[in-house]
């Protein structure tokens, strides 16, 4: 009966309306979820071409790595500043935008960069060379540290070469006029004769008086100058991987097992040296005919080096008889490499080999077979690596134990110290500016001054520093920053007020002295009264060290003096002294300097750099750039 009534209710008009409202709500929810799917995550677009989130993240992580290498442990403190991170992210994005804008213009100009040019550029980079030769293992290790893979790195080199070629094609016609070089050379050789009247602020510091009211007023207006810094005293224990490694014993059997398990680390891949003759011509038939002719001559006993110098399009290797550097597999063009490694004995010739660069005839010069370094030769290296591996594992285990003990006994580090045999150390009262090792590390310093550790009176979590040290801290004492009482800093306040008043008086008296000099009056009495230092200097040059930078810059900004009418100028020095510069004479020379030829090169380089910067700006201005408004809220993997 009950079920029948329910069935009847479900067939009523009201139930149907409710039913369709439910269906509609689900439909709209579905549509809403579809419409509200994550939007385009690309941080920006340049002429509708996106810079992908992956590209940005890779560039950002590479920049972080570079900054960490540059600033070391202090980078952690910078990275904790949200505004610094925001600016760094924006700088990385702007660089990617610039690169893409230039890349687009270069590609529109039909500029192409070949794979061999990229390989040659990478192999020539000193970062990847060991003992003057390209080292593939070093190359891969450095890319790994920078979070790059070979393909993406090669593509970045391609883009750089593309942009450089494009920029060079447009700025290669820049030149510097001989008259410009002559004028600048003349200006650099120009010398000036001057007199200096230095009105010392120290003279007035001895004579100015200060009232208690002035002290009180200055103290209140500048109270932040007299704040004591926050201080803490910290207990800590240190876990050191190097100390653990020193106590690790390794059996000879373990060394041999490690050597056999990691034999690839002690194996040198097969390398070959070849000579080649490269035949290239726009007409493929002509090139092929010439290559076959040269090969026939070689088979008939002709000298390979002589034919390389005569016919090879690779002029660099041709000068050396066609010989190339030693190489292993995976470096050269695939077809070239296949043919080179198919040769079996020195002096053997290949058939004509076609690659993307043209037609090659290859002669095997030498073979360095795969070589395994014997155990006895690398035993010391194996021992160091095995001990490092064991120390790393032990360090991780001890670090876990340290974390557990510090958490289970939060009130002090006594139990931690006793249980793990770690020395309990104390920092003594320190400020953020006086902290010494190990608290000069940003992460440790931050935890030492962390408010939550003070409030809970608990041990810190384990703090790792570098790859081999870990610490736990416990704050013993805290002294907050506060404005020191006037009575404690009265001498400092008095000195500051005296200096301020002395600077005003020195400027006033220097102005009076300048007025008298301009009016041609005798100033000897005033000079003596004010302890003015008078100096005469001749032959002052722009590049000399005769004057401090502030005075030197001002002196060479002053106009040339007229006959018997020196030019004078009052200059306030940073420490409070007032200096009257008197320019008496300007001496020019028409004789070229020994550096004139170098100057022309420097000016040309400077102009080229300025032109390239202008081209970059032009490419950016011409592009339509769209920023993703969600860019700064998108997460970036750390």
Q: Are residues 100 and 197 in the same domain?
A: no
Q: What is the number of other CB atoms lying within 10 angstroms of the CB of residue 629?
A: 8
Instruction: Say yes or no: 519 and 551 in one domain.
Output: yes
Same domain, 527 and 411: no
What does the block give as tokens for 447?
């935890």
441 with 408, same domain: the answer is yes
Q: Radius of gyration over alpha carbons of the chain, in Å?
A: 38
55 and 169 share one domain? yes
Report the distance separating Cα 273 and Cα 326, nearest Å.
Answer: 5
Q: Which two tokens stand for residue 11?
A: 């067939």
Exposure string over 404-417, b if 16+ CB within 10 A, otherwise e: ebbeeeeebbeebb
CA–CA separation, 589 and 556 (whole Å): 16
- The residues near 628 (Cβ < 8 Å, ≥ 6 apart) are 39, 40, 41, 42, 43, 44, 634
Shared-domain flag, residues 424 and 465? yes
Element holding 98 (H helix, E strand):
helix 82-108
Computed from CA positions of residues 501, 502, 504, 509, in that sequence, does the dihedral angle turn out positive or negative? positive
Please write down the HEC assignment for all residues of 317-331: HHCCCCECCCECCCC
Q: Would you say 184 and 532 are in contact if contact means Cβ atoms under 8 Å apart?
A: no
- Report pLDDT for 635: 45
Contact between 193 and 587 (Cβ < 8 Å): yes
Domain assignment present for residue 476? The answer is yes
The pLDDT, as a whole number, for residue 20 is 38
Who contacts 46 (Cβ-Cβ below 8 Å, separation ≥6)?
97, 100, 101, 104, 623, 624, 625
Q: Assign 129 to helix, strand or coil.
A: strand
**Contact predicate 287/355, CB 8 Å:** no
Question: Does residue 212 fall inside a structural domain?
Answer: no
- Return the residue matching tokens 């970062």: 127
Q: From 334, 369, 404, give the residue that closes a domain.
A: 369
389 and 527 belong to one structural domain: no
d(CA 541, CA 535): 16
My answer on whether 244 and 383 are in the same domain is yes
Task: Report the phi/psi class of residue 330: left, alpha or beta, with left for phi > 0 and alpha for psi in -120 to 50.
Answer: left
User: Is residue 242 one of the residues assigned to a domain?
Assistant: yes
- The span from the CA of 161 to the CA of 152, in Å, is 14
Same domain as 136, residue 48: yes
Q: Are residues 31 and 84 in the same domain?
A: no
Please tell me what DSSP assigns to residue 462. Answer: P
Tell me how far apart the terminal alpha carbons of the chain are, to the nearest angstrom: 66
In a domain, 145, yes or no: yes
| pLDDT at 531 (0 to 100) | 95
Closest CA to 460 of 479, 481, 443: 443
476 and 524 inside one domain: no
- Tell me the sheet residues that pair with 206: none
Domain enclosing residue 418, as ranges: 231-250+378-480
Query: Which residues lie below 8 Å from residue 314, measured CB to CB, with a gap of 6+?
Result: 276, 278, 322
Assigned token pair, 528: 């003596």
Kindly list the averaged pLDDT for each block of 10 residues, start to end, along the chain of length 638. Answer: 37 41 37 43 89 85 80 71 85 88 80 83 87 81 72 80 72 74 90 96 94 94 89 96 86 89 84 93 90 94 94 90 90 91 94 92 93 88 86 91 95 95 95 90 90 92 88 95 92 94 96 96 95 95 85 94 91 95 94 86 80 81 87 51
Q: Is residue 344 part of a domain?
A: yes
CATH code where residue 362 lies: 3.10.50.40
Give 275-312 as a 3 state SS string: EEEEECCCCHHHHHHHHHHHHHHHHCCCCHHHHHHHHC
CB 382 within 8 Å of CB 253: no
| Length of the chain as a residue count | 638
- The DSSP bridge pattern shows strands 129-130 and 133-134 to be antiparallel
In Å, the largest CA–CA distance within the chain is 128
483 phi, psi to nearest 5 deg:
-75, 125
Domain membership flag for residue 220:
no
Last residue of a domain, one of 455, 480, 505: 480
The CA distance from 96 to 85, in Å, is: 17
pLDDT for res 147 = 64
Please tell me whether residues 240 and 386 are part of one structural domain.
Answer: yes
Instruction: Give, for 425, the enclosing helix (H) or strand (E).
Output: strand 425-426
Helix (H), strand (E) at residue 106: helix 82-108
Q: Quick check: is 600 in a domain?
A: no
Angle between helices 284-299 and 304-311 (to 10 degrees): 160
In the chain, how many domains are there? 5
Task: Examine residue 216 and state whether it is found in any structural domain, yes or no.
Answer: no
453-467 burial: b if 16+ Cβ within 10 Å, else e: beeeebbbebbebee
Of 207, 243, 258, nearest to 531 by C-alpha is: 207
Q: What pLDDT, on the 0 to 100 scale, is given for residue 490?
A: 94
Pairwise CA distance, residues 246 & 225, whole Å:
49
Among 480, 509, 532, residue at a domain's last position:
480
Q: What angle do CA 427, 430, 431 make, to 5 degrees?
A: 145
For residues 579 and 537, give the distance between their C-alpha atoms in angstroms, rounded to a whole number: 14
Asked whether 322 and 304 are in contact (CB, 8 A), the reply is yes
Whole-number pLDDT of residue 338: 94
Kindly tell me the burial class for residue 12, based on how many C-beta atoms sit within 10 Å of its own C-beta (0-12, 13-18, 19 or more): exposed
- Which helix (H) or strand (E) segment holds residue 381: the answer is helix 375-408
3-state secondary structure of 410: coil
Residues 6 or more apart from 5 whose CB is under 8 A from it? Answer: none
């Amino acid at each position: 009966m009950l079920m029948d009534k329910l069935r009847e209710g479900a067939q009523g008009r009201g139930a149907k309306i409710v039913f369709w409202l439910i269906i509609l709500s689900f439909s709209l929810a579905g549509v809403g979820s579809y419409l509200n799917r994550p939007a385009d995550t690309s941080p920006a677009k340049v002429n509708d071409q996106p810079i992908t989130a992956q590209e940005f993240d890779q560039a950002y992580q590479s920049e972080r790595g570079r900054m960490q290498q540059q600033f070391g442990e202090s980078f952690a403190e910078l990275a904790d500043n949200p505004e610094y991170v925001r600016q760094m992210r924006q700088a990385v994005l702007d660089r990617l935008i610039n690169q893409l804008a230039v890349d687009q213009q270069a590609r529109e100009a039909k500029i192409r960069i070949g794979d061999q040019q990229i390989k040659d550029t990478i192999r020539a980079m000193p970062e990847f060379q060991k003992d003057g030769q390209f080292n593939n293992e070093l190359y891969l290790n450095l890319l790994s540290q920078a979070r790059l893979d070979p393909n993406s790195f090669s593509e970045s080199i391609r883009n750089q070469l593309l942009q450089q070629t494009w920029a060079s094609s447009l700025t290669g016609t820049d030149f510097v006029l001989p008259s410009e070089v002559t004028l600048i050379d003349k200006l650099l050789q120009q010398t000036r004769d001057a007199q200096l009247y230095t009105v010392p602020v120290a003279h007035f510091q001895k004579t100015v008086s200060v009232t208690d009211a002035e002290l009180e007023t200055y103290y209140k207006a500048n109270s932040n100058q007299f704040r004591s810094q926050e201080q803490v005293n910290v207990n800590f224990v240190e876990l050191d991987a190097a100390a653990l490694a020193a106590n690790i014993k390794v059996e000879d059997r373990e060394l041999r097992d490690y050597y056999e398990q990691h034999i690839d680390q002690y194996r040198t891949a097969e390398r070959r040296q070849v000579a080649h003759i490269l035949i290239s011509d726009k007409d493929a038939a002509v090139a092929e005919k010439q290559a076959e002719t040269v090969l026939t001559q070689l088979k008939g006993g002709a000298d390979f080096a002589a034919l390389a110098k005569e016919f090879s399009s690779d002029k660099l290797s041709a000068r050396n008889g066609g010989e190339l550097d030693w190489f292993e597999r995976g470096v050269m063009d695939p077809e070239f490499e296949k043919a080179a490694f198919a040769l079996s004995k020195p002096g053997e010739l290949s058939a004509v080999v076609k690659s993307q660069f043209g037609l090659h005839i290859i002669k095997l010069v030498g073979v360095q077979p795969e070589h395994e370094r014997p155990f006895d030769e690398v035993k010391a290296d194996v021992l160091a690596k095995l001990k490092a591996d064991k120390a790393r594992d032990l360090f991780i285990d001890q670090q876990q134990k340290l974390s557990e003990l510090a958490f289970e006994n939060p009130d002090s580090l006594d139990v931690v110290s006793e249980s793990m045999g770690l020395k309990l150390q104390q920092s003594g009262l320190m400020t953020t500016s006086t902290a010494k090792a190990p608290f000069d590390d940003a992460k440790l310093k931050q935890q030492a001054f962390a408010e939550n550790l003070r409030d809970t009176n608990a041990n810190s979590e384990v703090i790792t520093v570098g790859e081999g040290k870990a610490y736990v801290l416990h704050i013993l004492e805290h002294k907050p920053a506060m404005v020191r009482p006037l009575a404690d800093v009265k001498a400092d306040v008095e000195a500051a007020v005296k200096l301020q008043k002395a600077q005003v008086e020195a400027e006033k008296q220097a102005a009076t002295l300048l007025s008298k000099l301009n009016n041609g009056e005798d100033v000897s009495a005033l000079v003596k009264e004010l302890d003015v230092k008078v100096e005469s200097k001749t032959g002052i040059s722009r590049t000399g060290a005769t004057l401090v930078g502030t005075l030197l810059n001002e002196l060479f900004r002053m106009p040339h003096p007229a006959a018997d009418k020196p030019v004078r100028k009052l200059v306030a020095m940073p420490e409070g002294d007032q200096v009257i510069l008197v320019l008496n004479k300007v001496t020019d020379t028409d004789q070229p300097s020994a550096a004139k030829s170098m100057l022309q090169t420097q000016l040309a380089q400077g102009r080229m750099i300025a032109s390239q910067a202008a081209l970059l700006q032009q490419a950016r201005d011409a592009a339509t750039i769209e920023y993703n408004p969600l860019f700064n809220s998108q997460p970036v993997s750390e």
